[in-house]
Amino acid sequence: MARNLRSNVNALANVADIQTYEEATAPPKKRKKVQAPRFRCSSCSTLRMTKFFPNFNPSSECEHLINTCIACLRKWVEARVEGGTFEFGKDGKMFGVRCPECPEVMREVNVQNAATKKVFKRFQELERRHVADTVPNWRWCLNPTCKAGQVHEQLPEPRKTAKGGKNSKKQPSDEAEKICVCNECGHRACVPCDRPDHTPETCADYQNRIKGRTDEDDKSRAMLLKISKPCPHCNKPIQKSGGCSSMMCAVCHTNFCWECLKAYTANGCGCTTQQHIRNAVAAAGLL
Protein backbone atom coordinates (compact mmCIF):
# COMPACT_ATOMS: atom_id res chain seq x y z
CA MET A 1 0.00 0.00 0.00
CA ALA A 2 2.79 2.40 0.93
CA ARG A 3 4.67 1.47 -2.28
CA ASN A 4 1.62 2.31 -4.45
CA LEU A 5 1.14 5.65 -2.67
CA ARG A 6 4.80 6.56 -3.25
CA SER A 7 4.54 5.68 -6.95
CA ASN A 8 1.41 7.80 -7.32
CA VAL A 9 3.17 10.75 -5.68
CA ASN A 10 6.15 10.35 -8.01
CA ALA A 11 3.82 10.20 -11.03
CA LEU A 12 2.11 13.42 -9.97
CA ALA A 13 5.51 15.07 -9.50
CA ASN A 14 6.56 14.02 -13.02
CA VAL A 15 3.32 15.44 -14.47
CA ALA A 16 3.96 18.73 -12.65
CA ASP A 17 7.50 18.81 -14.03
CA ILE A 18 6.23 18.20 -17.57
CA GLN A 19 3.71 21.07 -17.30
CA THR A 20 6.38 23.42 -16.00
CA TYR A 21 8.71 22.47 -18.87
CA GLU A 22 5.95 23.00 -21.45
CA GLU A 23 5.19 26.39 -19.98
CA ALA A 24 8.88 27.29 -20.05
CA THR A 25 9.34 26.27 -23.68
CA ALA A 26 6.05 27.74 -24.94
CA PRO A 27 6.33 30.89 -27.11
CA PRO A 28 5.71 34.12 -25.18
CA LYS A 29 2.18 35.38 -25.19
CA LYS A 30 1.65 38.48 -27.29
CA ARG A 31 0.90 41.52 -25.20
CA LYS A 32 -2.02 43.58 -26.19
CA LYS A 33 -0.86 46.85 -27.70
CA VAL A 34 -2.23 49.89 -25.93
CA GLN A 35 -3.29 52.34 -28.60
CA ALA A 36 -1.93 55.84 -28.05
CA PRO A 37 -4.64 58.44 -27.47
CA ARG A 38 -5.55 60.55 -30.47
CA PHE A 39 -6.98 64.04 -30.59
CA ARG A 40 -8.85 65.82 -33.34
CA CYS A 41 -7.25 68.95 -34.80
CA SER A 42 -9.74 71.82 -34.75
CA SER A 43 -8.42 73.09 -38.08
CA CYS A 44 -8.05 70.03 -40.33
CA SER A 45 -10.37 67.71 -38.30
CA THR A 46 -7.77 64.92 -38.45
CA LEU A 47 -7.25 62.54 -35.52
CA ARG A 48 -3.59 62.80 -34.53
CA MET A 49 -1.35 61.53 -31.76
CA THR A 50 -0.01 63.89 -29.11
CA LYS A 51 3.40 64.23 -30.78
CA PHE A 52 1.77 65.99 -33.75
CA PHE A 53 0.55 68.84 -31.53
CA PRO A 54 2.79 71.62 -30.16
CA ASN A 55 3.74 71.42 -26.50
CA PHE A 56 2.96 75.11 -26.02
CA ASN A 57 -0.03 77.37 -26.55
CA PRO A 58 -0.01 79.62 -29.64
CA SER A 59 0.41 82.67 -27.37
CA SER A 60 1.36 83.16 -23.74
CA GLU A 61 -2.10 84.62 -23.05
CA CYS A 62 -4.03 81.62 -24.43
CA GLU A 63 -5.88 79.67 -21.73
CA HIS A 64 -7.50 76.99 -23.91
CA LEU A 65 -6.31 73.47 -24.71
CA ILE A 66 -3.96 73.04 -27.67
CA ASN A 67 -6.36 71.94 -30.39
CA THR A 68 -4.42 72.96 -33.53
CA CYS A 69 -1.76 70.56 -34.81
CA ILE A 70 1.77 71.71 -35.64
CA ALA A 71 1.24 71.60 -39.41
CA CYS A 72 -1.98 73.63 -39.31
CA LEU A 73 -0.52 76.20 -36.91
CA ARG A 74 2.45 76.67 -39.25
CA LYS A 75 0.12 77.12 -42.24
CA TRP A 76 -2.07 79.55 -40.29
CA VAL A 77 0.88 81.80 -39.37
CA GLU A 78 2.26 81.68 -42.92
CA ALA A 79 -1.11 82.68 -44.41
CA ARG A 80 -1.51 85.61 -42.01
CA VAL A 81 2.03 86.90 -42.58
CA GLU A 82 1.96 86.55 -46.37
CA GLY A 83 -1.51 88.10 -46.49
CA GLY A 84 -0.49 91.02 -44.28
CA THR A 85 -3.23 90.24 -41.75
CA PHE A 86 -1.91 91.40 -38.38
CA GLU A 87 -3.20 92.60 -35.03
CA PHE A 88 -2.08 96.10 -34.03
CA GLY A 89 -1.97 98.01 -30.77
CA LYS A 90 -3.05 101.63 -30.59
CA ASP A 91 0.30 102.60 -29.06
CA GLY A 92 2.23 100.75 -31.77
CA LYS A 93 3.79 98.38 -29.25
CA MET A 94 1.63 95.36 -30.13
CA PHE A 95 2.15 93.65 -33.46
CA GLY A 96 1.38 90.03 -34.11
CA VAL A 97 -0.83 87.31 -35.52
CA ARG A 98 -4.16 86.33 -34.00
CA CYS A 99 -4.37 82.88 -32.44
CA PRO A 100 -6.33 80.46 -34.68
CA GLU A 101 -8.54 79.47 -31.74
CA CYS A 102 -9.09 82.66 -29.72
CA PRO A 103 -8.69 86.46 -29.94
CA GLU A 104 -5.27 86.49 -28.23
CA VAL A 105 -2.23 87.64 -30.21
CA MET A 106 0.87 85.64 -31.12
CA ARG A 107 3.89 87.91 -30.59
CA GLU A 108 7.35 87.65 -32.13
CA VAL A 109 8.58 84.80 -29.91
CA ASN A 110 5.35 82.84 -30.54
CA VAL A 111 5.61 83.31 -34.31
CA GLN A 112 9.23 82.15 -34.18
CA ASN A 113 8.20 78.93 -32.41
CA ALA A 114 5.37 78.19 -34.84
CA ALA A 115 6.61 79.39 -38.25
CA THR A 116 9.39 78.47 -40.65
CA LYS A 117 12.58 80.57 -40.72
CA LYS A 118 11.53 82.20 -43.99
CA VAL A 119 8.11 83.24 -42.68
CA PHE A 120 9.57 84.46 -39.38
CA LYS A 121 12.11 86.63 -41.22
CA ARG A 122 9.29 88.18 -43.24
CA PHE A 123 7.33 88.78 -40.02
CA GLN A 124 10.30 90.61 -38.49
CA GLU A 125 10.64 92.86 -41.55
CA LEU A 126 6.97 93.88 -41.39
CA GLU A 127 7.13 94.35 -37.63
CA ARG A 128 10.10 96.71 -37.96
CA ARG A 129 8.25 98.75 -40.57
CA HIS A 130 5.15 98.93 -38.37
CA VAL A 131 7.13 100.13 -35.35
CA ALA A 132 8.92 102.81 -37.38
CA ASP A 133 5.60 104.09 -38.75
CA THR A 134 3.69 104.20 -35.47
CA VAL A 135 6.08 104.94 -32.57
CA PRO A 136 6.96 108.67 -32.31
CA ASN A 137 10.68 109.51 -32.56
CA TRP A 138 11.56 105.88 -33.24
CA ARG A 139 14.84 105.28 -35.02
CA TRP A 140 16.34 102.06 -36.30
CA CYS A 141 20.09 101.63 -36.02
CA LEU A 142 21.80 102.44 -39.33
CA ASN A 143 24.48 99.84 -38.72
CA PRO A 144 23.73 97.14 -41.35
CA THR A 145 24.78 94.39 -38.94
CA CYS A 146 22.54 95.63 -36.10
CA LYS A 147 18.76 95.23 -35.93
CA ALA A 148 18.17 97.26 -32.77
CA GLY A 149 16.02 100.37 -32.50
CA GLN A 150 15.13 102.96 -29.91
CA VAL A 151 13.23 106.17 -29.23
CA HIS A 152 15.40 109.25 -29.70
CA GLU A 153 13.82 112.18 -27.90
CA GLN A 154 14.64 115.63 -29.22
CA LEU A 155 14.35 118.75 -27.11
CA PRO A 156 11.92 121.42 -28.29
CA GLU A 157 13.46 124.25 -30.29
CA PRO A 158 14.41 127.30 -28.17
CA ARG A 159 12.00 130.20 -28.26
CA LYS A 160 12.94 133.13 -30.45
CA THR A 161 13.92 136.24 -28.54
CA ALA A 162 12.18 139.56 -29.05
CA LYS A 163 13.63 142.19 -31.34
CA GLY A 164 16.76 143.68 -29.90
CA GLY A 165 17.13 140.79 -27.52
CA LYS A 166 20.25 138.68 -27.36
CA ASN A 167 20.15 135.19 -28.75
CA SER A 168 21.03 132.50 -26.27
CA LYS A 169 24.32 130.77 -26.78
CA LYS A 170 24.27 127.36 -28.37
CA GLN A 171 24.52 124.70 -25.73
CA PRO A 172 26.62 121.53 -26.22
CA SER A 173 23.45 119.49 -25.66
CA ASP A 174 21.96 121.03 -28.82
CA GLU A 175 24.59 119.27 -30.90
CA ALA A 176 24.48 116.11 -28.81
CA GLU A 177 20.76 115.58 -29.39
CA LYS A 178 21.35 115.56 -33.14
CA ILE A 179 23.37 112.36 -32.73
CA CYS A 180 21.57 109.11 -31.98
CA VAL A 181 23.81 106.52 -30.35
CA CYS A 182 22.55 102.95 -30.61
CA ASN A 183 22.07 101.38 -27.18
CA GLU A 184 22.92 97.97 -28.62
CA CYS A 185 26.07 98.45 -30.74
CA GLY A 186 27.05 102.09 -30.11
CA HIS A 187 26.72 103.12 -33.77
CA ARG A 188 26.30 106.90 -34.16
CA ALA A 189 23.84 108.46 -36.61
CA CYS A 190 23.02 112.04 -37.54
CA VAL A 191 19.31 112.56 -36.89
CA PRO A 192 18.65 115.57 -39.20
CA CYS A 193 20.45 113.93 -42.13
CA ASP A 194 19.30 110.39 -41.30
CA ARG A 195 22.79 109.20 -42.18
CA PRO A 196 25.77 107.82 -40.24
CA ASP A 197 27.50 110.45 -38.10
CA HIS A 198 29.54 112.78 -40.33
CA THR A 199 31.21 114.96 -37.69
CA PRO A 200 33.24 117.17 -37.75
CA GLU A 201 31.53 117.98 -41.06
CA THR A 202 28.40 120.11 -40.53
CA CYS A 203 25.01 119.00 -41.80
CA ALA A 204 25.01 121.81 -44.40
CA ASP A 205 28.45 120.83 -45.72
CA TYR A 206 27.47 117.18 -45.80
CA GLN A 207 24.24 117.92 -47.70
CA ASN A 208 26.14 120.06 -50.23
CA ARG A 209 28.65 117.28 -50.76
CA ILE A 210 26.01 114.66 -51.52
CA LYS A 211 23.65 117.07 -53.34
CA GLY A 212 24.51 115.64 -56.74
CA ARG A 213 23.53 112.16 -55.65
CA THR A 214 20.34 113.32 -53.95
CA ASP A 215 19.27 115.26 -57.07
CA GLU A 216 19.59 112.11 -59.14
CA ASP A 217 17.64 110.19 -56.53
CA ASP A 218 14.89 112.84 -56.58
CA LYS A 219 14.61 112.65 -60.37
CA SER A 220 14.41 108.87 -60.28
CA ARG A 221 11.78 109.04 -57.54
CA ALA A 222 9.70 111.56 -59.51
CA MET A 223 9.86 109.37 -62.63
CA LEU A 224 8.87 106.34 -60.60
CA LEU A 225 5.81 108.13 -59.24
CA LYS A 226 4.68 109.02 -62.76
CA ILE A 227 4.73 105.44 -64.02
CA SER A 228 3.59 103.72 -60.82
CA LYS A 229 0.69 103.61 -58.38
CA PRO A 230 0.81 103.27 -54.59
CA CYS A 231 -0.15 100.05 -52.85
CA PRO A 232 -3.41 100.68 -50.92
CA HIS A 233 -1.99 98.91 -47.86
CA CYS A 234 1.66 100.00 -47.48
CA ASN A 235 1.70 102.92 -49.98
CA LYS A 236 4.78 101.61 -51.78
CA PRO A 237 4.97 102.50 -55.52
CA ILE A 238 4.23 99.60 -57.87
CA GLN A 239 4.74 99.44 -61.63
CA LYS A 240 2.53 97.48 -64.03
CA SER A 241 4.17 95.82 -67.02
CA GLY A 242 1.06 94.31 -68.62
CA GLY A 243 -1.48 91.62 -67.89
CA CYS A 244 -4.76 91.97 -66.04
CA SER A 245 -5.71 94.50 -63.36
CA SER A 246 -4.98 92.15 -60.46
CA MET A 247 -1.76 93.25 -58.74
CA MET A 248 0.23 91.74 -55.87
CA CYS A 249 2.40 94.08 -53.77
CA ALA A 250 5.91 92.65 -53.43
CA VAL A 251 6.34 94.37 -50.05
CA CYS A 252 3.20 93.56 -48.06
CA HIS A 253 1.67 90.98 -50.46
CA THR A 254 -1.66 92.80 -50.69
CA ASN A 255 -3.76 91.72 -53.69
CA PHE A 256 -5.44 94.83 -55.14
CA CYS A 257 -7.00 96.22 -58.31
CA TRP A 258 -4.81 98.42 -60.52
CA GLU A 259 -7.82 100.44 -61.72
CA CYS A 260 -9.57 101.40 -58.47
CA LEU A 261 -6.62 100.78 -56.08
CA LYS A 262 -8.79 98.79 -53.68
CA ALA A 263 -7.82 95.50 -52.09
CA TYR A 264 -9.66 92.45 -53.35
CA THR A 265 -12.17 90.88 -50.97
CA ALA A 266 -14.62 88.00 -51.27
CA ASN A 267 -16.88 90.41 -53.17
CA GLY A 268 -14.16 91.60 -55.55
CA CYS A 269 -12.94 95.20 -55.70
CA GLY A 270 -14.57 98.59 -56.26
CA CYS A 271 -14.71 98.34 -60.06
CA THR A 272 -17.56 97.03 -62.18
CA THR A 273 -17.12 94.47 -64.94
CA GLN A 274 -17.91 97.14 -67.56
CA GLN A 275 -15.13 99.36 -66.25
CA HIS A 276 -12.61 96.54 -66.52
CA ILE A 277 -13.69 95.84 -70.10
CA ARG A 278 -13.46 99.50 -71.13
CA ASN A 279 -10.01 99.84 -69.55
CA ALA A 280 -8.78 96.68 -71.25
CA VAL A 281 -10.09 97.85 -74.65
CA ALA A 282 -8.54 101.29 -74.19
CA ALA A 283 -5.20 99.76 -73.21
CA ALA A 284 -5.27 97.67 -76.39
CA GLY A 285 -5.86 100.81 -78.50
CA LEU A 286 -9.22 99.65 -79.83
CA LEU A 287 -11.15 102.75 -78.77
Residue 234 lies in a domain: yes
At 97 the pLDDT is: 93
| Same-domain pairing of 44 and 105 | yes
| Same-domain pairing of 50 and 113 | yes
| Calpha distance 180→158 (Å, rounded) | 20
Residue 7 lies in a domain: no
| Same-domain pairing of 194 and 265 | no
Model confidence band, residue 282 (pLDDT cutoffs 50, 70, 90)? low
Give me the percent of the chain exceeding a pLDDT of 90: 20
Residue 14 lies in a domain: no
For residue 9, pLDDT beyond 60: no
Give me the percent of the chain exceeding a pLDDT of 70: 69
Model confidence band, residue 70 (pLDDT cutoffs 50, 70, 90)? very high
Q: CATH code at 60? A: 3.30.40.10
| Same-domain pairing of 77 and 128 | yes
| Same-domain pairing of 263 and 184 | no
Decide: 247 and 240 in contact? Cβ < 8 Å: yes
| Same-domain pairing of 180 and 245 | no
| Same-domain pairing of 99 and 140 | no
User: Number of folded domains in the chain?
Assistant: 3
Q: Mean pLDDT, the chain, as a whole number?
A: 77
Residue 58 lies in a domain: yes
User: Which of 78-92, 105-119, 183-197 comes out lowest in average pLDDT?
Assistant: 78-92
Residue 142 lies in a domain: yes
Looking at 67, 102, 134, which one is the last position of a domain? 134
At 211 the pLDDT is: 74
| Same-domain pairing of 125 and 148 | no
Residue 140 lies in a domain: yes
Predicted confidence (pLDDT) per residue in 96-121, tens digit: 999 999 999 999 999 999 999 999 99
Residue 168 lies in a domain: no
Model confidence band, residue 172 (pLDDT cutoffs 50, 70, 90)? very low
Q: What is the DSSP string of 197-232?
A: --TTS-HHHHHHHTHHHHHHHHHHHHHHHHSEEE-T
| Same-domain pairing of 61 and 144 | no
For residue 57, pLDDT beyond 60: yes
The parent domain of residue 251 ranges over 229-287
| Same-domain pairing of 73 and 103 | yes
Residues in the chain: 287
Residue 178 lies in a domain: yes
At 280 the pLDDT is: 55
| Same-domain pairing of 115 and 203 | no
Q: What angle do CA 107, 111, 113 make, to 5 degrees?
A: 120
